[in-house]
Structure 1
Amino acid sequence: MGRFSLFHLVFVAGLLMSVRVMVAGVERDRGEAGSVVRTRWAMLAGALTLTGFVGSLLVQQQASGVVITLASIAAVLMGVSSARFLVRRAVAIPVSDHEFDPRFAMQGVPALVVAAIPAFGAGQIRLPAHNGASAVVAARSVDGTHIGCDVEVGVERIDDGVAFVEVWSAIEARL
């Protein structure tokens, strides 16, 4: 086992900072003003991790102080720029989170088929509404199969006013 150097501490600090970034995230909500992406913690984590890694390798190879210093500076710049690039790129990717997607607001709600749903066609279901009332909505099967009248179904999502449903017994079988 090689000798311990300050670069080992820098590397471990970078790894710990990376965990902090993964747990806390980089996006901060500012209320009605929207959210802002802060890359400073990710850039610090990238700089520390890469500098610690490169520095510890060079110390083990007994490189000269000038080489270690220049390589450390290059590692800092590379760690900062790559972390900034990766965070900006990840934030630019659209997220399809069911929790925030209004199409999935009715997911899991039981309904009753009132007009048979033909294979790859549309029928109708009755959904529970407020105050004990119900609403009739156009529906399609999620897997394109035929669903007969008076069959209990579960809603997966509602897309452009059409509910995509699955037979309730199939849902229960998975649970």
Structure 2
Amino acid sequence: MTRRILLINGPNLNLLGKREPHIYGSTTLVDIEAQAHAQAASLGISLETFQSNHEGAIVDRIQEAAGWAPLKSSNAPSADSDGGQGNIHKLSRVSAIIINPGALTHMSVAVRDALLGVAIPFVELHVSNVYAREPWRKHSYFSDRAVAVICGMGAYGYSAAIEFAAKHMRVQEGDE
């Protein structure tokens, strides 16, 4: 089975390199994703990337990562349908999720529920040190269930997260 990691970036992370570079650095999301793809390939892992400013799109992508996706229309059965038992069809499953939820960290029960519902190990990632910033940034809806939390390492945090997820997947799958 090919090991696959899904890297999700939440709201405003498409502005990395432009938005508050004194906090988030000058590396763009395009640069981060290019480096992440190269690193994953060197580790023999397939990497998928996804960024959205919309909570529901992130929830949909997390559900897809589990191998299930909502049908576009629940009124018309299709060949991919499960016979009306939830209106979902089967997709490929990922081995791990790395998520930088951005501002959704502090407010999204929906994304938390999606992550818990799919039961895929996930790493919570933040470019800045959220514990050295505003008090409200110290609360995360994800950290208590994450396999690991990486913050304050800048763009390098993505490399650390991929390395950790790759190692964690090998251990979980019995390769080591």
Give the TM-score taking structure 2 as reference length: 0.19
**More contact order relative to length (CA 8 Å, sep ≥ 6):** 2
The structure where helix makes up a greater share of residues is 1
Flag the structure with larger Rg.
Answer: 1
Give the TM-score taking structure 1 as reference length: 0.19
The structure where strand makes up a greater share of residues is 1
